[in-house]
Amino acid sequence: MIRLLLVALLMSLGMNLYLFVELQQSQQQALPLMPQPPSEQSANDPPLPATASPVSQNSVEDPHPLTQTSLQALLDNGQYRELENRLQHALRQSPDNIDLLLLEGQLMVRTRPLSEAVLHLYALRDLPLSMSQRQALRQRIDELVSTAVEQLRTAEDWDLLAQLLEPLFQIMPAHRPYILQLAEAYARQNKPTLMEDVLASLRPGDPQANRIRALIPTPFEDPADTTEETAFTEPGTDNAGGFTIQLEPDGSHFIANVSFARERARLMLDTGATTTAITSELYDNLQARQRLVFIGNFEVNTAAGRVSAAMVQVPTVTFGPLRFTDLPVLVLPEGVMRDADGLLGMNMMQNMDFRLNQQTGELTLYRHVL
């Protein structure tokens, strides 16, 4: 009897042990597995799926990829804001790229005051340029300055000429052309003190400096009195050379009909404006027909305040019987002028005396006879 009880007890213990082991295994299988961190992923494991991340500027298809050719195309097409953004991006990646820095200089010529742009080009000469790059940069500076000086002297806009040359003279005080041109601009404006400050860079008795000094009227000479040098002829005389152009009264102003390369425009007569100016809308119309020569940007005073205006060259301009070739004009920013297509400045009436009949709007011009 005792033996049977022992066998039954052993069988019960064995059954309990078997059930306990089975229960432990089932619980372990039911527990979730902890994922491995990415850094511990085995080299033999399959690759993880790609996660969303910001796309770089060049990782998507770009109509204007960052290449020298595409950037130059933006400059040639007048897309200056887009070019500026892309140049900034490219220069952050390659701040010492000579080609990009030179292109940035070209952009400044188009978008900044000319004097500021030329100063920037002068600074680029300190870069490790190749011989051809250095020569091209020097030629570009000379071309920009000489063209602007010629146009401003032709327009007799001595204020803008001084504005251009003053900063250039500061960095190159011994450059003879800048000395003489700036001194003349001051002399033409009857500013003897500024003129002498500039001419002090030359040796005493310099013949060209003395000729510039002679432009300043003496204390007993009326600068407006030129009767000894110039005679005015009245219309109707044998060699009169005088003529009358009918202007259109518009309130307290007078409007003149002017043709810019066959594009008709209405300009407001402004006897205080040295250089003729046109609106940006008129400029766009002219530019659509033929590319106008760009001279540079200048800071000018307008009724709306001081603004930056580009100066361009218009191939042909007609005002009454007067015809001009390659006339320099300023392009006013959008919204500066709304009542006309621009301002008729005194560079369209050079070497002429004029009288305006306020009642009839008749503008009579007399040619100077020397």
Dist. CA 148–CA 303, nearest whole Å: 24
| Mean pLDDT (whole number) for 225-252 | 60
Buried b (16+ CB within 10 A) or exposed e, 204-221: eebeebeebeebbeeeee
Lowest mean pLDDT: which of 47-51, 99-103, 178-182, 346-350?
47-51
| Residue 38 tokens, joined | 């990415």
| Mean pLDDT (whole number) for 290-294 | 90
Question: For residues 43 and 265, which has the higher predicted lDDT (pLDDT)?
Answer: 265
| Mean pLDDT (whole number) for 257-274 | 92
Q: Is 70 exceeded by the pLDDT of residue 167?
A: yes
Cβ(181)–Cβ(208) below 8 Å: no
pLDDT tens figures, 111-127: 999 999 999 999 999 99
Cβ(362)–Cβ(246) below 8 Å: yes
Dist. CA 233–CA 74, nearest whole Å: 53
Lowest mean pLDDT: which of 82-91, 235-244, 252-261?
235-244
The average confidence (pLDDT) of the chain is 81
**In the block, which residue shows the tokens 């790229």?**
97
Residue 2 confidence (pLDDT): 59
Residue 15 confidence (pLDDT): 62
Q: Is 60 exceeded by the pLDDT of residue 61?
A: no
Question: For residues 250 and 209, which has the higher predicted lDDT (pLDDT)?
Answer: 209
Query: What's the pLDDT band for 289 if we cut at 50, 70, 90?
Result: confident
Residue 8 confidence (pLDDT): 56
Length of the chain: 370
Residue 85 confidence (pLDDT): 94
Burial of 70 (0-12, 13-18, 19+ CB in 10 A): middle
Phi, psi of 230 (to 5 degrees): -130, 140
Phi, psi of 369 (to 5 degrees): -115, 115
Q: Is 60 exceeded by the pLDDT of residue 92?
A: yes
Lowest mean pLDDT: which of 61-70, 218-227, 237-246, 323-332?
218-227
Q: Mind spelling out the 3-state secondary structure of 38-53?
A: HHHCCCCCCCCCCCCC
Residue 29 confidence (pLDDT): 45
pTM score, two decimals? 0.72
Q: Is 50 exceeded by the pLDDT of residue 187?
A: yes
Domains plus CATH for the chain?
A: 243-369 (2.40.70.10)
Query: What's the pLDDT band for 7 if we cut at 50, 70, 90?
Result: low
Query: What's the pLDDT band for 152 if we cut at 50, 70, 90?
Result: very high
| Residue 49 tokens, joined | 């799926």
| One-letter amino acid for residue 66 of the chain | L
| Mean pLDDT (whole number) for 238-251 | 77
Write out the H or E segment, with its range, that includes residue 244: strand 243-246
Residue 45 confidence (pLDDT): 39
Dist. CA 121–CA 140, nearest whole Å: 9
Question: For residues 2 and 246, which has the higher predicted lDDT (pLDDT)?
Answer: 246
DSSP string covering 190-235: T-HHHHHHHHTTSPTT-HHHHHHHTTSPPTTS-TT--TTT-EE--T
pLDDT tens figures, 21-60: 554 554 444 434 333 333 333 333 333 333 333 333 444 4
